[in-house]
Structure 1
Amino acid sequence: MTAFLNQLPALMGVIVGVLGTLLTARLNDRAQADAQRTKAWEAVLLLGDADTVAAAREWRWAVPQLERAARGVADDDFDRTAAVRRADEGRDRFCVAARAGLTVGSGDVAQARWLTDRQMNS
């Protein structure tokens, strides 16, 4: 028992070190993801026309609402179904606007109706 107690400070140091490493890695990953999102948003602002930027702004607002719910920090009156619909429809509006701005006309790429139908039929 004495040997264990003598090694306890070293064991605690290892545990604290591992926890510190995990926390640092998580914070670094989050910072990198934030930087990538910022770069993508800046590209939309610089290259998108007014309709594309407006649609991107709506979609960009809808997605964090879902993220908050996934983390368990959404308001009590949060409506998951409506939030998913807003995000899906926001993505569709963005795709339509971006394709129109780029004059890409190869058909409908909307996913919101398909996703809703699939969710209801599963």
Structure 2
Amino acid sequence: MNAFLAQLPALLGVLVGTLGTILATSLADRGRWRRGQRVRWDERRLEAYVELSRAVKEIHAVSMRMLVAARPDRSGHAIEREEGLARLAEADVRNTLAWENVLLLGDAATVEAGRGWREAVWRIERMAHDPNGQDDHGTRLVDLKGRADRARDAFYQAARTGLGVPGGSVAQSDWLAARHEHRVGAGLASSWHS
């Protein structure tokens, strides 16, 4: 019995060490699994955001090309109405499918910002569908484009925040508005001197 009592501290040490190793391994595996899941869902979320961005931006670009005649700066290449309508129909399908992925995987702030961007671009698209070049509220195209640009900035900021992407703001709306003003000003100045 004395031999057993003499070896008891060593046996307890082995037992505690084994239990500690099992616990540490289990916690490490659980943490590794959680990190893997987080990375996996972040990758899927990023893919969904990129897919939606492409679809919404395509609708925006095609609509703006259909509306070149209504734009004060008249920049860009016009597109024939029938071709534009066909491209808008195809892009709308991609937009709808991409939106479902964002609804499934996106965080609340990004979904809300995406909804705002889609709505702003939808108003431009609606104007492109109208042969008179006006939406039902008589809002000027420049204002609609500015809203869509600001809504895109909000979507990108929400997506970057939700994904933990560092680097600050990548907003483009102010820069695009200044560029538009420069183009319009340059066009007006050249017409005054003609």
TM over 0.5: yes
Structure 2 CA distance for aligned equivalents of residues 53 and 118 of structure 1: 29
Q: Secondary structure at the match of 2:114?
A: helix
Partner of 1:11: none
**Aligned-partner Cα distance in 2 for 1:26–1:71:** 9
Whether 2:94 is the aligned partner of 1:36: answer: yes
- Give the Å deviation of 1:31: 5.1
Tell which has more relative contact order, 1 or 2 (C-alpha 8 A, sep 6+).
Answer: 1
Q: Give the Cα separation in 1 of the matches to 2:162 and 2:128.
A: 33
For 1:113, the equivalent position in structure 2 comes to 174
Q: Give the TM-score normalised by the residue count of structure 1.
A: 0.69
* Equivalent residue for 1:71, pick from 129, 133, 137: 129
The farther-off stretch of 75-84 and 27-36 is 27-36
Q: Label 1:26 to 1:106 Cα distance change in 2 as closer, same or farther (>3 A).
A: closer
CA RMSD of aligned residues (A): 2.4
Return the alpha-carbon distance in structure 1 between the equivalents of residues 161 and 141 of structure 2.
30
Q: How far apart in 1 are the matches of 2:127 and 2:113? A: 22
For 2:113 and 2:95, locate their aligned partners in 1 and report how far apart those are by CA, in whole Å: 16
Question: How many residues end up aligned between the 2 structures?
Answer: 98
Residues 121, 61 of structure 1: alpha-carbon distance in 2 compared, 3 angstrom cutoff: same
Instruction: Give the corresponding residue for 2:162.
Output: 101
Deviation readout 1:55-106 (Å, 9 max, x if unpaired): 0001110101111222335226222222111100100000000000000012
Paired AA for residue 109 in structure 1: V
Counterpart in 2 of 1:50? 108
Amino acid at match of 1:37: N
Of all paired residues, the percent bearing the same amino acid is 47
Structure 1 residues 58 and 30: alpha-carbon distance in aligned structure 2, compared to 1, 3 A threshold: closer
Gaps of 5+ in 2: 1-82, 184-194
Partner of 2:146: 85
Matched-pair contact (CA < 8 Å) for 2:110–2:159? yes
1:49 deviates by 0.7
Cα distance change of structure 1 residues 77 and 47 upon mapping to structure 2, 3 Å threshold: same
Structure 1 or 2, whichever has the larger Rg, is: 2
* TM-score, structure 2 as length reference: 0.45
Unpaired stretches in structure 1, ≥5 consecutive residues: 1-24
Distance 2:84 2:143 in 1: 30
Q: Aligned partners of 2:147 and 2:181: how far apart in 1?
A: 17
